Amino acid sequence: MADGANAILVRRRRREQTGRPGTARTARGNRPLAVVAAVFTLAQLVLVRPVLGLGWDEIVYVSQVTPHTPAAFFSAPRSRGVSLLVAPVASWSSSVPLLRVYLALLSGLALYLALRAWRGLFPTRVLVVGGAFFASLWVTLFYGPQAMPNYWVAIGALITVGCFLRARADHSARAALWGVAAGAALMAWMRPTDAVYVAVPLLVLALLRRHGRLLLALTAGLAAGAVDWVVEAYADHGGLGQRLSEASRIQGGLGWQIAVDDQLRSLGGRALCRPCTGSMPHPLVTAWWFVLPVLAALGLVVAVRARRPSRTVVPLACATTAALPYLFMIGYAAPRFLQPAYALLAIPVADALWHLVRTPRGTWRPLAAALVALGLAGHLAVQLAVLQGAVARNTESRRDWDRTAGALHRLGVRPPCLLTGHEAIPIGYYTGCSSGATSGHNENTTVAEILRTADRLPVAHISPAGGTPPRYARTWPVHRISNLDVRVAPAT
């Protein structure tokens, strides 16, 4: 009996001894990924700065869970994921810097976990470069600490695709199956339609190869993330089909519409390009956008030659389906729309860059490394310059809303109150008022309701200076605030 116990102890010690090197290697491999995530978090706090006020879309999401201001109108395309994401802070604090710090820390942690999902599929050096490339894009740095859904769809896409490939390679990897479900749920939680576009190649592959467990994990994750959106469709929009139709109308009608040039114009730092007019940014600003597909194609060639094509083909296919609707199906652009595609392209592109550096022999290798390093340094400089301009413009526009709110307070428009007209949603949030619209994408009230409200609360209509007000506000006293005409309903 003693001999048996000793044998068990010996076997246990052997397992522990053989397990330690693997654990140590895993820790060493995760450390560079953690460094990338930490630098990304720090860069957000330094370059974007926590004092940046809330933007229009952020106001819609945050106002749903904060008790400090009335909830803004929540249109059909939006999903509640972002509101729930910010609820741990916004539900008890109105501090924007605190919310920014929370989101920056959370986005850095999410990037680390997303890159870890690809461990074993590519060398750590590839994941480090891929993560650094995605994290250094101005659009990633700008939206990482913001209450917006697209970055989180990108993180969900990275987790889903990485865990999908790991589960295919190792059928006993239960953790990878849970990762597929979690990543898919995160995507659908944030933007259900984007989640479906990302998942199409995975669903097709799982069906064709009869990966039953993978198919179940993927569909279960998508369903779990989208269930709230679907329930809300039947509760508030007349059904799922009606909500999809309404969302399409708000987005200008989904169909064959080439928006490639719009996306190029938005690369200069425009948060929203609708309508997308004006000149193209400098070629140095858009050059990386044309280099990206070339490097992705090279990454595919490298993967085929190395006899591991699926690890590159699958993320490239998902990136393509994620980008298609925003390049060819809507009539406007915003750079954040393509974040999931950029995230999925980042790893094949990083694989191609390492191939360019390591393949040449002799004296050519240092030259290749120097050229790649020079190109990446130039790319980073351009991204930081665009980020600086985007932060400056958005900071000033949000300060304008705050100044307008202060002027409205001096005119007697104080909570509880109602604002209508031009930029009523963001100005209303900064003023502490509800916002109303009798037409357009945010229609949520009627003229009769506005007039009834004016009998008991302060009500103001905002229009650009010299603009024509609606009939119900034409007789209200007009006040000039900056470049706005504000008509305040006479107190009853």
pLDDT of amino acid 388: 97
pLDDT of amino acid 492: 61
CB 281 within 8 A of CB 267: yes
CA gap 134, 154 in Å, rounded: 10
CB 395 within 8 A of CB 150: no
Q: How many CB atoms lie within 10 A of CB 407?
A: 16
Lowest mean pLDDT segment, chosen from 13-17, 18-22, 66-70: 13-17
Q: What percent of the chain has pLDDT over 70?
A: 94
pLDDT of amino acid 473: 95
Partnered with residue 435 across adjacent β-strands are 419
pLDDT of amino acid 255: 83
What single DSSP character describes residue 337? G
pLDDT of amino acid 294: 96
CA gap 410, 486 in Å, rounded: 12
CA gap 354, 442 in Å, rounded: 48
User: Mean of the pLDDT values across residues 456-462?
Assistant: 96
Which of 241-245, 278-282, 429-433 is predicted most confidently? 429-433
CA gap 368, 234 in Å, rounded: 58
Query: At residue 21, does pLDDT exceed 70?
Result: no
Place of tokens 């001999």: 3
CA gap 238, 35 in Å, rounded: 48
pLDDT of amino acid 22: 55
Query: At residue 5, does pLDDT exceed 50?
Result: no
User: Mean of the pLDDT values across residues 93-111?
Assistant: 98
And the tokens for 89? 């802070």
pLDDT of amino acid 19: 44
Lowest mean pLDDT segment, chosen from 23-27, 119-123, 125-129, 324-328: 23-27
User: In Å, what is the CA distance from 247 to each residue of 74, 242, 459?
Assistant: 11, 8, 29
CA gap 262, 337 in Å, rounded: 12
Least Cα distance to 347 among 315, 323, 371 occurs for: 315
Q: For residue 34, which amino acid is it?
A: A
Partnered with residue 420 across adjacent β-strands are 436, 461
CA gap 469, 486 in Å, rounded: 10
Question: What's the burial of 39, exposed, middle or buried (CB within 10 Å: 0-12/13-18/19+)?
Answer: middle
User: In Å, what is the CA distance from 21 to each residue of 15, 24, 26, 73, 116?
Assistant: 11, 5, 9, 55, 19
pLDDT of amino acid 10: 43
Partnered with residue 463 across adjacent β-strands are 485
pLDDT of amino acid 266: 94
Mean pLDDT estimate for the chain: 92
pLDDT of amino acid 206: 95
Least Cα distance to 116 among 347, 377, 385, 406 occurs for: 347
**250 — pLDDT class (breaks 50, 70, 90):** confident
User: Mean of the pLDDT values across residues 318-331?
Assistant: 95
What single DSSP character describes residue 9? H
And the tokens for 113? 């976990």
Task: Sort strands 478-481 and 484-488 into parallel, antiparallel or unpaired.
Answer: antiparallel
Give the tens place of pLDDT for each residue, 175-198.
999 999 999 999 999 999 999 999
Count how many residues are written for the chain: 492
Q: For residue 68, which amino acid is it?
A: H
Residue of higher predicted confidence among 341 and 4? 341
pTM exceeds cut of 0.85: yes
pLDDT of amino acid 23: 59
User: Mean of the pLDDT values across residues 446-468?
Assistant: 95
Least Cα distance to 250 among 196, 197, 193, 320 occurs for: 193
Query: At residue 1, does pLDDT exceed 60?
Result: no
pLDDT of amino acid 289: 95
pLDDT of amino acid 252: 78
Give the tens place of pLDDT for each residue, 374-421.
999 999 999 999 999 999 999 999 999 999 999 999 999 999 999 999
Q: Which helix (H) or strand (E) holds 263?
A: helix 260-266
Query: At residue 312, does pLDDT exceed 50?
Result: yes
User: In Å, what is the CA distance from 272 to each residue of 36, 55, 277, 328, 394?
Assistant: 28, 11, 11, 17, 11
Give the tens place of pLDDT for each residue, 38-77.
999 999 999 999 999 999 999 999 999 999 999 999 999 9
Q: How many CB atoms lie within 10 A of CB 307?
A: 6
Query: At residue 336, does pLDDT exceed 60?
Result: yes
Query: At residue 290, does pLDDT exceed 50?
Result: yes
User: Mean of the pLDDT values across residues 272-300?
Assistant: 92
